[in-house]
A = this chain, B = another copy of it.
Amino acid sequence: MLDTTFIFDLASKAPTPGGGGASAYAGALSSALGSMVGNLTVGKKRYEAVEADTYIVLEKLAALRTRLIELVDEDARAFAPLAAAYGMPKATPEEQDAKDEAMQSALIGACDVPLEIMRSCAQVIGLCEFLAYNGSRMALSDVGVAVAFGKAALLGASLNIYINAKDICDRERAEAYTAEAERLIEDASALADTLYAYVLDEIR
């Protein structure tokens, strides 16, 4: 029986888990599909030549999955100070200053987490490149699903960076966030598209 707690928590009007945590979760699903392909590759005579490398890929995917699962919760924890800052009073100049300060610090946290989600997903997609060209042919379609999810997670997490970076007063810092998000999308989502197209071409 499938545990649907996360799905139903997501559907509720509670602000977390939201799009950020869901993106970390989708990244974990992507790494899991990559691991399945790796696990179907090792121990087979036909793939003996790539077995040692596949074990390394499997270890890296497992570490990224552990981190992405942690990031589901970290995304929720990064949202709490933001919500608290929104709720602070601003009747006096002192209150306004304190609110602004709390808000700026919360916005940084709310960019750091989705950026780490994006970096992790980009790495998962990179590891899928090895699996697409060297992994078990029987599971090639699962590599295609993995990169489709990795790309969706990347795009999903980026939206939280764009939203929060917009309100960061330190423009240099804000632009560093959005520039890295854009670069990750440009590189890793292009690789995801290439790999998906390769899989589609091979299986049809």
Interface residue ranges, A against B (CB under 8 Å): 2-8, 10-13, 18-19, 22-23, 25-26, 28-29, 31-33, 35-36, 39-40, 61-62, 65, 69, 72-73, 139, 141-142, 144-146, 148-149, 151-152, 155-156, 159-160, 162-163, 166, 196, 199-200, 203-204
Contact = CB atoms under 8 A, between A and B. Distances in A.
A72 B6 CA distance: 15
9 contacts: A6-B29, A7-B65, A10-B36, A19-B145, A141-B160, A148-B155, A151-B152, A159-B200, A162-B200
The quantity of this chain's copies bound in the complex is 2
A69 B4 CA distance: 8
A30 to B, nearest CB: 9
Contacts of A144: 19, 155-156, 159
A7 to B, nearest CB: 5
B26 A13 contact: no
A29 to B, nearest CB: 6
B203 A162 contact: yes
Contacts of A8: 32
A25 B29 contact: yes
Contacts of A148: 151-152, 155-156
A11 B129 CA distance: 17
A57 to B, nearest CB: 13
Contacts of A162: 141, 200, 203-204
Contacts of A39: 11-13
